[in-house]
Amino acid sequence: MPEEVWEVKLGFMVTFVSDEIIDLDPYLRAIKAQYEVLPVLLCLPPNTCYPWHTDETRRTALNMQLNAHDQSCCVFTKERSDEEFFQIAELKYQPDTYYVFNTQEEHMVMNFGETRYMFSFTLKGIRDVPFRQVAASLIDIQARVLQADTADTSA
């Protein structure tokens, strides 16, 4: 991918994903029909980390990690401290799997390997809708799409 497509936004290298690509996936198409979305690819260079934060400009994203599964990690905490140890939980991304990501929980990313690429389908305009409600609706949409797909192939 040419270097110049990447922009640094809020300290993250990001590039936009076109509608032509999004429309290839029936699930993303169905989400797009219901929500305002911003599809991006995020990139984290080798041997870097993105420190503890909550996202400033978005609350809910549907994420799929595209590579570097064994060489990077994303962790969450509810009790961050600068002075003592605290509990963390890892979000272990599996290949080819979407995760509904609550960007308002404290999280950080470390990358020990090659450049890490994350597809991130940001849902916009839903600041006042509780995260769990949005997550449930994304699961419903997925079930509907899978059902339609099964009906198509069994017909």
Interaction site with Fe ion (CB under 5 A): 55
Backbone angles phi and psi of 54, in degrees to 5: -120, 150
- Report yes or no: 47 and 112 within 8 Å, Cβ to Cβ: yes
55 or 64: whose CB is closer to Fe ion?
Answer: 55
The whole-angstrom separation of Cα 91 and Cα 148 is: 30
Closest of 109, 138, 136 to residue 123, by C-alpha: 138
- How far apart are CB 118 and Fe ion at their closest, in Å? 10
Which residue in the shown chain puts its C-beta closest to Fe ion? Answer: 55
- How far apart are CB 53 and Fe ion at their closest, in Å? 6
Which H/E stretch holds residue 64? Answer: strand 60-65
31 or 55: whose CB is closer to Fe ion?
Answer: 55
CA 7, distance to chain mean position in Å, is 18
- How far apart are CB 49 and Fe ion at their closest, in Å? 12
Structure tokens at 114: 């090659």
- How far apart are CB 8 and Fe ion at their closest, in Å? 14
28 or 55: whose CB is closer to Fe ion?
Answer: 55
68 or 141: whose CB is closer to Fe ion?
Answer: 68
